[in-house]
Chain A
């Protein structure tokens, strides 16, 4: 096959959306239906890899779709940050589908066709976000992503799901319309253009106070980046089935948020401008507060998914901090953390789902001694935790390393202290889970006073285990082999860095 890169680019966005037709058509044949999803995810991943390998330093690939308003078009282009995001999203989509097959069937969920359809549309819009050439295009797909994930969050249709969905939609749609759109329009009026440009779009003589306000609107408006106080939607979204929480609320949706924040910071404002804006420092502290507070809240959660959700809120703060430090190592740290956190957190969520399916437990206090029943899952959980904390031998080490370097370079010592403290808190809320699972004794009698049966190994369905294995392995591989990622991350600011390891 010899398709041009521009064709492949459109292919990435359209294929998941067209896959829904196949999924609906084959709704009566479970296996074929899932084959469509898997096929689509493999093809999309293949296309993204081809794009990654095909793009040489300094080359631009741009596709125009349609001119919606004069001077505003839906168009796409390839750029290293987008490549990182799309590589992760498409790879983990594939892994998650394998996982969901095990999970959804093991858990006897209803409406599986709707589930896989919305999933595919969500991934299509993630690709749209990743490759958007201007803020306008990005905003469109950002909203499509919100709307397409709403049915996934409310999947179970219960009162709790409805309530969670209301919070989810209310905050995401609310912030995006009231602040994000406002900021975009403000940018449009001040700068007269919305295309992502290295070094930013604002004219040099623009009023920095005004731009500072626009920056605040952006940071608050991109609700998917979950900066406090607009983080409530993420814990609320945990009512969704676990694969949704895993892919969308640890990878696709939240990463679309921080990805947008980075795009805005690097390509709308430009790092030089970020440094001089009067509100940057305030936002740094806000993100720092978000990191710390979310960690504290996470410690108090007994529901495993809720704890992971708050941990995500905290980790997203890291990425925003990396950008707001406005140095090249900060940007590298943030973009690497997008990948590292994705692998780490998806592993943890997969494990949470596996525990739910195999042992029917969702509270941490009930998981003592679970390591004997589900050794494989708990080992994976341990690896995922290490990566979130940032300890070797997992990928999370690198992003944390660069982030601390950036705080040192900019002499933001308070922020550095916050990051160190947060790492300790990470250890405090993640490590006890695998620790107790392996080293605590199972209470000899259960609550009815009966002696517990002899513990047997009972893991989640095979498909789910494979997915967990791949994700955990990913955390380890990224430690040993972070080079391509680092190279892409450096190329965001200096495109000539992109050499594909040569």
Chain B
């Protein structure tokens, strides 16, 4: 059984998806989905443990040995990412039933869970597979289900947002496919490990450069790296709250994973950063993304938009770490991938609670919520502090590693800019705090009852994520250890 964990990671949610159709009753479907996701979470914990102890696991699908058969290859990097995805997915699902009851029509509940599981399958598949074409297949599974999930949002703008994402996402996927195709043309293999050994032989050719660029542009589109982020804010703002919480914490992380995997393990550092000027490209885009997106976030009136733009900015931080192409920089990036999942998961889920009770996430509707929903607002405050990077939260740990990495590389101005940018986060977080705590609640509209605190089913997962923000800000053993080990293994240094 243990030997089959790599495939079980993907197959459990995949098989669970059609099984939902048999159950039909929404309550049952929800519990079943939660169970499937929890199993996936347990599997990823076991996998991470196994990888940390014994090193990379190679699993041959159907007994066909690579490079002919499809290989599932689990190392520290993807075990870590899979843990984040399945963990957040499980916690978010706890609140799903309560949330979608208000946001999605009853008859679509089963559909919602099926799509959710498929999306989870896709993400876990991208992460675990060791085959480049398999990546594309799972990418399409996760993307198609994502478009439909977003379209389930309760007003018509969701359709437009979903369509926008569909167009952009398809362009991205096409670019990725072209990239993979060109790689296959040059090397005749699709297995990642095999690609890594064969590509250097032909690295001088223009085709390989083209392949890399196509692939990277496609991935950056999925990653929502500035300036390819245009699909993200609307998609996050108009999707059902649960979907936003799930995607904000996970989907861009998958793209970040692909970026790391292809740049470091397949094409190699020397190709991407010495032959090609990727360092300057990524550094510039990362910094621009941080500043532009943070500034735009300050001027948004819908809080979902605020945090969506903040996500774009946070991706900028990850990319700055990535652009350093050093061990420390990559560790900082991976750490931020983990930490950002915790922050945004907590924040968007808390916004889901606000949506449930208030029915809107416009800034003006936050007036007086500090009194009416104290626990939810406290969660948003802690999540916001984490986003700013206040000590004792995960945000601080990320920032610390990122700035130290920049200083070690001798990039003093970059370090200064990164710190300066966190002040922009103070502004957009504090707009919410001031509105919620200092303004009197809006006068109750006749026939509408007073806003109550969110139900337990919501507060529990929200506070689980919020406490994770604090816990991993204090006890960084798991996140730092795994992130640095993963970074080290990518640089070929045995930990």
Contact = CB atoms under 8 A, between A and B. Distances in A.
Interface residues of A, number: 27
Contacts of A182: 403, 415-416, 419
A386 to B, nearest CB: 40
B404 A188 contact: yes
Contact of B392 (A140, A154, A178, A189): A140
A186 B415 CA distance: 9
A115 B474 CA distance: 27
Contacts of B430: 166, 169
Contacts of B423: 173-174, 177-178
Q: Is the contact region of chain A dominated by helix, strand, or loop, or is it mixed? A: helix
B390 A143 contact: yes
A170 interface: yes
Nearest to B406: A185
Interface in B239-271: none
B476 A69 contact: yes
A173 B426 contact: yes
Contact of A185 (B397, B415, B474): B415
A393 B399 CA distance: 51
A66 B392 contact: no
A147 interface: yes
Given A186-B407, A188-B404, A162 B476 contact: no
Nearest to A169: B430
A139 B422 CA distance: 16
Interface in B449-479: 473-477
A413 B412 CA distance: 37
A69 B419 contact: no
Contacts of A432: none
Is the interface on chain B under 10, 10 to 19, 20 to 34, or 35 or more residues?
20 to 34
Given A69-B400, A69-B476, A147-B385, A181 B390 contact: no
B441 interface: no
Interface string A159-201: 0011000100110011001100110011011000000000000
B408 A178 contact: no
Contacts of A170: 426
Interface string B426-438: 1000100010001
Contacts of A157: 438
Contacts of A3: none
A187 B438 CA distance: 39
Nearest to B408: A189
Interface in A123-149: 139-140, 143-144, 147
B276 interface: no
A178 to B, nearest CB: 5
B407 A140 contact: no
A189 B404 contact: yes
B480 interface: yes
Contacts of B401: 69
Contact of B419 (A139, A162, A181, A188): A181
Contacts of B67: none
Interface in A447-475: none
Nearest to A180: B419
B460 to A, nearest CB: 22
B31 interface: no
Contacts of A154: 438
Contacts of A67: 477
B407 A189 contact: yes
Main secondary structure of the interface of B (DSSP, over half): helix
Nearest to B400: A69
B390 A185 contact: no
Contact of A140 (B388, B391, B480): B391
Given A140-B392, A182-B419, A174 B426 contact: yes
B426 A169 contact: yes
Nearest to A159: B438
B480 A69 contact: yes
A154 B370 CA distance: 14
A69 B476 CA distance: 6
Contacts of A185: 400, 403-404, 407, 415
A443 interface: no
A178 B403 CA distance: 11
Contacts of B408: 189
B438 A162 contact: yes
B389 interface: yes
B480 A70 contact: yes
A165 to B, nearest CB: 8
A68 B472 CA distance: 9
B483 to A, nearest CB: 12
Interface in A313-370: none
A154 B437 CA distance: 10
A66 B474 contact: yes
B345 to A, nearest CB: 22
A336 B387 CA distance: 40
A140 to B, nearest CB: 4
A69 B397 contact: yes
B104 interface: no
A187 to B, nearest CB: 10
B392 A162 contact: no
A495 to B, nearest CB: 30
A177 B404 contact: no
B381 to A, nearest CB: 10
A232 to B, nearest CB: 15
Question: Residue among B397, B407, B408, B480 with the most chain A CB within 10 A?
Answer: B407
Contacts of B473: 68
Nearest to B407: A189
A139 to B, nearest CB: 6
A156 to B, nearest CB: 10
Give the interface centre of B391, B407, B434, B474 by most chain A CB atoms within 10 Å. B391
A67 B475 CA distance: 7
B19 interface: no
A147 B401 CA distance: 23
Nearest to A185: B403
A314 to B, nearest CB: 28
B389 A177 contact: yes
Contact of B475 (A66, A140, A144, A161): A66
A383 to B, nearest CB: 39
Nearest to A66: B474
Most buried by A among B389, B392, B399: B392
B420 interface: yes
Contacts of B480: 69-70
Contacts of A69: 397, 400-401, 476, 480
A308 to B, nearest CB: 26
B476 A68 contact: yes
A174 B389 CA distance: 12
Nearest to B390: A143
B420 A178 contact: yes
A177 B476 CA distance: 21
Contacts of B438: 154, 157, 161-162
Nearest to B481: A70
A437 B352 CA distance: 59
Residue in B400, B404, B426 whose Cβ sees the most chain A Cβ within 10 Å: B400
B363 to A, nearest CB: 15
A185 B402 CA distance: 10
Contacts of B419: 177-178, 181-182
Contacts of B426: 169-170, 173-174, 177
Interface string B362-394: 000000000000000000000001001111100
5 contacts: A69-B397, A70-B480, A169-B426, A177-B426, A182-B415
Q: 8 closest Cβ contacts across the A-B interface? A: A140-B391, A189-B407, A185-B403, A162-B438, A143-B391, A174-B423, A178-B419, A182-B419
Given A162-B438, A177-B422, 6 more contacts: A67-B477, A174-B426, A178-B416, A178-B420, A181-B403, A186-B412
